[in-house]
Amino acid sequence: MQIVLLASGSTGNCALIEAGRGDDRVVVALDCGIAQRTGRDLAADAGLALTSVDAVLLTHAHADHSANVVAVAARAQAPLYAHPEVIDQRPQLRASEIARRRVELRPYADRASFQVGPLRITPIALPHDAEPTHGFVFESQDGQRAAYFSDLGRPEVLMEGVLDGVESLVLEFNYDPEMLENGPYPPHLAQRISGGLGHLSNDQAASILREACPDSLQQLTLAHLSRHNNRPRLAAEAARAALDDAGRSDLEPRVAPPKGVVYAGPAARPRV
Ligand SMILES: [Zn+2]
Ligand SMILES: [Zn+2]
C-alpha cells in the first residue's frame, strides 16, 4: 500500500491511495480540491492516472477538499464514497449534480469499515467546522495500516487507540500559535482556526505524537500547513521534539508541500 500526496493545504488537497497487485490493484483518490488538470499532471509525475481511479473518497465539504471530487469521479466513472450529510452542502456536491454526471454515490458512516477491492477503509469522525468531517484508517490485505487525519480542531479523538498498528501517518500540522496570533488574519478568522472546530496547531499535533505515537509507526508526514501561519521548519521542529519525547528519535518527519508528489508510505511503491 502507498499513500501518494499530490497537494496539501488550504490551496487544495488531493492524495491517491494505491493498494494490491495485479488484478486486485486499486487506486483511490482521497479528496480533490485542486484543478483537475493540476491533479492529472501531479498524478502523472507519480506514474498514476487520476482519470482512471477505482474510487473517490471525500473527507468533508470544504472546497479545498471537495471542489472537484464529483468531476474526478465522473471522469473516471468511479463511485464516490461520501458521508450522506455532505451532499448538497455545496453546489458541486448537489445530489442533482451527482446524478446528472452519473456518479454512483456510496454513503459511509462513522467507524463503519468498508472495502474497496483489497483496501479496507475505516472513517473516523473529526471535530471540524464542516460537519461532518472524517479522517481515515486504511488497511491492506497483507495487514499494512496507514492513516490520514487532517482538518480537526482538537487532538483527543486520535489519542484513543485510533492510531494503533498504523505504520504510516499523514497528520495535519496547520499553524504555529504565535504566527497565527501575530499574522495577517483578522481576529474572527484566527479564532475560528484555533477553536475546537478549526485546525490543529503544531503543538496540538505534536501532543498526539507524544501521547499516542504507535510503536508500529515508520513514516510520518506533516500535512495541511498554513501558508500564512506556519513554516515547514516550525512544524518539523515540533514533530521532532515530540518524537524524541516518545522515544522515537529514529523517525524522520517529512513535510508535505502545497503541491508536489510525496510518497507517504507505508510501503515502497508496489511494482505493477
Ligand atoms: Zn482543509
Ligand atoms: Zn476543512
Could you read off the pLDDT of 117-175 as tens digits, one per residue? 999 999 999 999 999 999 999 999 999 999 999 999 999 999 999 999 999 999 999 99
Tell me how far the alpha carbon of residue 33 lies from the centroid of ligand 1, in angstroms: 9
What's the pLDDT at 268? 56
Tell me how far the alpha carbon of residue 68 lies from the centroid of ligand 2, in angstroms: 15
- Give the helix/strand (H/E) hosting 134: strand 133-139
Tell me how far the alpha carbon of residue 148 lies from the centroid of ligand 1, in angstroms: 12
Could you read off the pLDDT of 139-154 as tens digits, one per residue? 999 999 999 999 999 9
Tell me how far the alpha carbon of residue 154 lies from the centroid of ligand 1, in angstroms: 15
What's the pLDDT at 267? 77
Distance CA 221, CA 6 (A): 13
Distance CA 222, CA 257 (A): 9
Could you read off the pLDDT of 259-268 as tens digits, one per residue? 999 999 997 5
pLDDT-based confidence at residue 270 (cuts at 50, 70, 90): very low
Tell me how far the alpha carbon of residue 106 lies from the centroid of ligand 1, in angstroms: 22
- Give the helix/strand (H/E) hosting 198: none
Question: Can you tell me the mean pLDDT for 35-40?
Answer: 98
Distance CA 267, CA 11 (A): 28
Tell me how far the alpha carbon of residue 10 lies from the centroid of ligand 2, in angstroms: 8
Mean pLDDT for the chain overall:
96
Tell me how far the alpha carbon of residue 137 lies from the centroid of ligand 1, in angstroms: 18
Tell me how far the alpha carbon of residue 13 lies from the centroid of ligand 2, in angstroms: 10
Its sign, for the CA torsion 66, 70, 71, 77, is positive
- Of 109, 79, 81, 84, nearest to 95 by C-alpha is 84
**Ligand with minimal distance to 86 CA:** 2
Is residue 74 predicted with pLDDT exceeding 60?
yes
Is residue 83 predicted with pLDDT exceeding 60?
yes
Tell me how far the alpha carbon of residue 201 lies from the centroid of ligand 2, in angstroms: 14
Could you read off the pLDDT of 49-61 as tens digits, one per residue? 999 999 999 999 9
pLDDT-based confidence at residue 102 (cuts at 50, 70, 90): very high
- Are 40 and 68 contacting, i.e. CB atoms less than 8 angstroms apart? no
Tell me how far the alpha carbon of residue 42 lies from the centroid of ligand 2, in angstroms: 22
Is residue 241 predicted with pLDDT exceeding 60?
yes
Q: What are the domain boundaries of the chain? A: 2-266
Tell me how far the alpha carbon of residue 60 lies from the centroid of ligand 1, in angstroms: 9
Amino acid (one-letter) located at 195: G
Tell me how far the alpha carbon of residue 122 lies from the centroid of ligand 1, in angstroms: 20
The top-level CATH class assigned to 2-266 is alpha beta
Question: Can you tell me the mean pLDDT for 197-213?
Answer: 98
Tell me how far the alpha carbon of residue 98 lies from the centroid of ligand 2, in angstroms: 21
The pTM of the full predicted model, rounded to 2 decimals, is: 0.96
**Ligand with minimal distance to 14 CA:** 1
Partnered with residue 222 across adjacent β-strands are 171, 255
pLDDT-based confidence at residue 269 (cuts at 50, 70, 90): very low
pLDDT-based confidence at residue 271 (cuts at 50, 70, 90): very low
Tell me how far the alpha carbon of residue 62 lies from the centroid of ligand 2, in angstroms: 5
Ordered DSSP codes for 200-227: -BHHHHHHHHHHH--TT--EEEEE---T
Tell me how far the alpha carbon of residue 33 lies from the centroid of ligand 2, in angstroms: 11
